[in-house]
Amino acid sequence: MSQKPAKPAPRQDAMQKQKEQELIAESGIVAATRGSHTIHCLTVIGTIEGHSFAPDNQKTTKYEHVIPQLVDIEEDPEIEALLVILNTVGGDVEAGLALAELIAGLSKPSATLVLGGGHSIGIPLAVSARRSFIVPTATMTVHPVRHSGMVLGVPQTMRYFEQMQERIVSFVSGHSGISAERFVQLMHNTGELVMDMGTVLNGQQAVDEGLIDALGGLGDALAYLYREIDNAR
């Protein structure tokens, strides 16, 4: 007779649940869902923190915390897919691009879901997965590269900003349905924002522009990942 697998002891189960709750509280991480497939949920919220610290009163996503998670997702055979949930105002350009490149390079099925906002450098992250979703009430702000603090008013500085912007445009146009020309046009729009140039897109507009693949919510993103996992078997 085949034996049924032993259930975890109540104490072990309680300790595991406590550990998971601490992980959620500290890092906003859900190690894996317990549905029909094992999907890692990664949240990107607030400001994406890179080489310098954000102000203490800001919620942040620290890229040095996210990078090891992405490596673990790729290496762990038990994790079958990645779901990235975004509600971010943007942040460090190089840190955001680094995370976007890592997500795009995963060999496992991946999906992103934009809730609330996916602004600035959050846009490359939003398009980095194999399939991107956005809820109708979310917005995405497309604008040129900015820099806080002192800069030198010399041609070399302008060229540096142009190169950084070209990297963003190249990544976004390469991982979504929007052309580089149209994305730059949205960046340089002067008729919408009062104190800046750029464009604010709601969920439907982001899909219409080809920036995001589809309108949808959590159920749609999970359903896509389930299909991709089943098709890969």
Give the span between the Cα atoms of 33 and 213, in whole angstroms.
24
Q: Which of 120, 128, 132, 176 is catalytic?
A: 120
Strands (E), the chain: 29-30, 39-49, 60-62, 81-91, 110-118, 131-134, 139-142, 199-202, 214-215
User: Which residue type occupies 143?
Assistant: H
Is 40 labeled as catalytic in the residue annotation?
Answer: no
Q: Is 143 a catalytic residue?
A: yes
Q: Give me the catalytic one of 128, 143, 173, 175.
A: 143
3-state class (DSSP) for residue 217: coil
Show the beta-strand stretches assigned E in 146-222. Answer: 199-202, 214-215
Angle between the N-to-C axes of helices 93-104 and 155-174, in degrees from 0 to 180, rounded to the nearest 10 = 30
Catalytic residue numbers? 120, 143
